[in-house]
């Protein structure tokens, strides 16, 4: 979505565009998966007057309106990552070595929701699927001198 699309999206839900809301929206347009602190840094580069509380409120409102997604992409107490909203069919693929995050679109999420509905009498409302591993670039970086990929635990093959 283009940055100018925020005004009608908010107005259609009974909200008005404010400088913090627009600044947060703009900071997420590059498709990156940012922490709230990274969003705040991006906002402050252009709008240093926007305070941190306003940024958090804008993120929460945009999330509640379904315009952005908050995801936990790493285990433990890692910070949430924020991005523009996307369909559930787009799940996250996270490289645990370099931190790269990509989206993968496929039928896996639909298969899970159909299975839960049909076999477990459960109605999924939102699916947050995160797959951890390592990317091809990191695999190449960890290759042995013989060119074979580095395998962390070869007994699992």
Q: What is the pLDDT of residues 34-47, one digit of tens each?
A: 999 999 999 999 99
pLDDT of residue 143: 57
Element (H, E) at 81: strand 81-84
- Least confident window among 56-65, 71-80, 99-108, 133-142: 71-80
pLDDT of residue 3: 46
Locate 56 and state its tokens.
């958090």
Q: What is the pLDDT of residues 96-146, one digit of tens each?
A: 888 888 878 888 888 888 999 999 999 988 787 888 888 888 887 765 444
This prediction has a pTM of 0.70
State the Cα–Cα distance between residues 10 and 123, nearest whole angstrom.
28
Segment 49-77 shows an average pLDDT of 89
Hey, what's the torsion of the CAs at 32, 105, 10, 43, to 10 degrees? Answer: 0
Tokens 């809301």 appear where?
21
């Amino acid at each position: 979505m283009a940055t100018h699309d925020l005004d009608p999206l908010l107005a259609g839900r009974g909200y008005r565009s404010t400088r913090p809301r627009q600044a947060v929206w703009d900071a997420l347009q590059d498709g990156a998966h940012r922490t709230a602190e990274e969003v705040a840094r991006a906002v402050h580069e252009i709008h240093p007057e926007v305070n941190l509380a306003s940024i958090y409120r804008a993120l929460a409102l945009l999330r509640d309106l379904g315009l952005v997604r908050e995801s936990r992409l790493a285990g433990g107490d890692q910070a949430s990552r924020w991005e523009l909203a996307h369909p559930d069919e787009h799940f996250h693929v996270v490289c645990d070595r370099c931190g790269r995050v990509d989206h993968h679109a496929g039928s896996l999420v639909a298969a899970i929701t159909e299975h839960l509905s049909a076999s477990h009498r459960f109605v999924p409302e939102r699916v947050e699927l995160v797959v951890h591993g390592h990317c091809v670039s990191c695999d190449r970086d960890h290759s042995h001198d013989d060119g074979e990929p580095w395998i962390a635990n070869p007994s699992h093959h």
